[in-house]
Amino acid sequence: MKKQITELKREVSRLKRALSDQAEEAAETAQGWYQGAADRASDLYSGASDRASRAARQLRTQAHSVSETVQQNPGTLSTAMLIGGLVGVLAGMAISRSSEPEPEWFRRWHR
């Protein structure tokens, strides 16, 4: 009986070592996956950050150019706004006339 108990203890010890080794391997594998995912996320964030920084710099440069142009030529901006407004009004009038026929009461007063 003592021999069997000793043998069972040895077997349990071997099983514990095997489970410990497998758990260690699983932890190393999971750590590798986590590290790989973290590295990829970091690379993506870095690339996106660089692109956003360049885009912001470009927008700032263009806004500065537009601002300088407007300051140097205030009449041009006024004219462009006026023409844009007129085109908008004319387009609105054309759309409103073509989309709905004149109501009966309107035709009665304008014959």
Does the pLDDT value for residue 111 go beyond 60?
Answer: no
- At residue 107, the pLDDT reads 67
Q: Is the Cα dihedral 70, 76, 78, 80 positive or negative?
A: negative
- At residue 5, the pLDDT reads 86
Give per-residue burial for 93-104: e unless 16+ CB within 10 Å, then b: eeeeeeeeeeee
- Stated pTM of the model: 0.41
pLDDT tens for residues 30-87?
A: 888 888 888 888 888 888 888 999 999 999 999 998 888 878 887 877 888 899 999 9
